Chains A and B, each alone.
Chain A
């Protein structure tokens, strides 16, 4: 498998658990372009996690195909397949008897990397996920906070530079403030390493925030809609999707754009609230409503005024 991002294709992928009549994943077909983040979201019973685990064969397919860069997953040796795919789970599952370095270096060790190369790679990854490359590598999982452990889980998944990452509710067990920070860091990290990512969550807001594309699965593992966050919010295909994304979908759509995306009127600094260009339209609207203003002054990173955004521009 290439170490650059890989294209992932679900082709009529179906899972029926033994002894059950109903499918858990039902003829799922979708393509995740190389380097994109695809979020699987839906109510419980929608088969999100099952669909994810089909990819690294933790759960065997009943019928249909899954291909990574055109090659069927069944054609790989299962161990080789899993070692070439990053895997992150909600409970992290760090090995408590190993140091952080031992945990992150697990797959490289199995792949027979030299010790110095593993040491260097661990340092590089710790830095990438925002931990101390010298201090933290010697610590044990029990000494870390939940957020730190999840960073280590992410570093472990990235260790052998996989072309594809599977993430099963990676931030689900983390408190909202740390979760928001981890999401931001994950997106920054993704811009740096550009892996193909399949990301499972039950949280629509998280799906909108991290997904390049969102697959909404309904009960019985059927695909309801597969689209960009923008399209899903603005054009839900049916009532199920509309209900699932929520009545505030118009507001949620505002989180996808920033003030910098708008065409601004010429700047007139007459005491308008000043907001930076990277503020989301939703936050900008919240400020306009709270301060009872019809317009906002948009400023650049250095504080220089860029222009004025009117309230109706935000909602257009």
Chain B
């Protein structure tokens, strides 16, 4: 039965291509919005704490608290506050994405060669210039690795938004009665594809950054 559902999934894809495309776009929109918000929160905090070489345990403690709650529970809580819809789902995903971005940003900056930082300070770069011209470029590969982890988490989890009226590929997966098991499988494969594509794209950027920041080392 499973194998026939699998075959159905590949029949479903061409016949419902525009539906899948539309739903995938919704999932991507939700995931990328959540990632963007998570970046806006985690990046400045991670950069600043990493620059000061302290404060990670506290920041991580707070952010992990949110993450220790299952996303389903978070969305449930979110409904109570934000009502059903896009932002409620996005909130749950933001909570999921912040810790990996925060952790990697912190260690990316914190781990930059301390001699380069000391020299930079000694020759008269301001603290902001040290961060933007030395620590951020040198930490970029590790920072992007954190973003990639967060992106995979978020896209995979974004499907549960379907259950809560958020649309996207999860919407198909939650409606087996309408779309059949083949449809559910097809949507699942697309989610995996979307996550892998995003991860691959970020991996390419990350590799380019590594080459640029550690040339011919």
Binding site for B on A (CB under 8 A): 56, 58, 79-84, 86-87, 89, 91-97, 106-107, 110, 140, 142-143, 153, 156-157, 166
- CB-CB under 8 A from A107, the residues of chain B are 123-124
- CB-CB under 8 A from A87, the residues of chain B are 119, 122-123
Nearest Cβ on chain B to A73's Cβ, whole angstroms = 13
Q: In whole angstroms, what is the CA distance A296 to B75 when docked?
A: 94
Chain B, interface SS category: helix
Binding site for A on B (CB under 8 A): 113, 115-126, 129, 133-134, 137-138, 212-217
Q: In whole angstroms, what is the CA distance A142 to B216 when docked?
A: 7
Contact across chains for B124 and A89 when beta carbons are under 8 A apart: no
- CB-CB under 8 A from B120, the residues of chain A are 93, 95, 106
Decide yes or no: A93 and B119 within 8 Å by CB, A82-B124, A110-B124, A142-B217 being known contacts: yes
Residue in A79, A89, A142 whose CB lies within 8 Å of B119: A89
Residue in B119, B129, B133 whose CB lies within 8 Å of A94: B119
10 new A-B contacts, CB < 8 A, other than A94-B119, A106-B125, A166-B122, are A79-B126, A83-B124, A87-B122, A92-B115, A93-B113, A93-B118, A95-B119, A97-B138, A140-B215, A140-B216
Nearest Cβ on chain A to B138's Cβ, whole angstroms = 6
Sample (30) of A-B pairs whose CB atoms are under 8 Å apart: A58-B118, A79-B124, A83-B123, A87-B123, A89-B115, A89-B118, A91-B115, A92-B115, A93-B118, A93-B120, A94-B116, A94-B119, A95-B133, A95-B134, A95-B138, A96-B213, A96-B214, A96-B217, A97-B137, A97-B138, A97-B212, A97-B213, A106-B120, A106-B123, A110-B124, A140-B216, A140-B217, A142-B214, A142-B217, A143-B216
- CB-CB under 8 A from A156, the residues of chain B are 119, 123
Decide yes or no: A97 and B119 within 8 Å by CB, A79-B124, A83-B124, A110-B124 being known contacts: no
- CB-CB under 8 A from A82, the residues of chain B are 121-124
Nearest Cβ on chain B to A3's Cβ, whole angstroms = 15
Residue of A nearest to B119 (CB): A93
Q: In whole angstroms, what is the CA distance A93 to B130 when docked?
A: 13
- CB-CB under 8 A from A157, the residues of chain B are 123
Nearest Cβ on chain B to A130's Cβ, whole angstroms = 21
Q: In whole angstroms, what is the CA distance A81 to B126 when docked?
A: 12
Contact across chains for A58 and B122 when beta carbons are under 8 A apart: yes
Q: In whole angstroms, what is the CA distance A187 to B126 when docked?
A: 32
- CB-CB under 8 A from B214, the residues of chain A are 96-97, 142
Q: In whole angstroms, what is the CA distance A82 to B216 when docked?
A: 31
Nearest Cβ on chain B to A209's Cβ, whole angstroms = 25
Nearest Cβ on chain A to B27's Cβ, whole angstroms = 36
Residue of B nearest to A83 (CB): B124
Q: In whole angstroms, what is the CA distance A91 to B122 when docked?
A: 13
Q: In whole angstroms, what is the CA distance A91 to B217 when docked?
A: 17
Residue of B nearest to A159 (CB): B123
Nearest Cβ on chain A to B118's Cβ, whole angstroms = 6
Residue in B118, B122, B215 whose CB lies within 8 Å of A97: B215
Q: In whole angstroms, what is the CA distance A106 to B216 when docked?
A: 21
- CB-CB under 8 A from A96, the residues of chain B are 113, 116, 138, 213-215, 217
- CB-CB under 8 A from B134, the residues of chain A are 95
Q: In whole angstroms, what is the CA distance A153 to B118 when docked?
A: 13
Contact across chains for A95 and B123 when beta carbons are under 8 A apart: no
Q: In whole angstroms, what is the CA distance A110 to B133 when docked?
A: 11
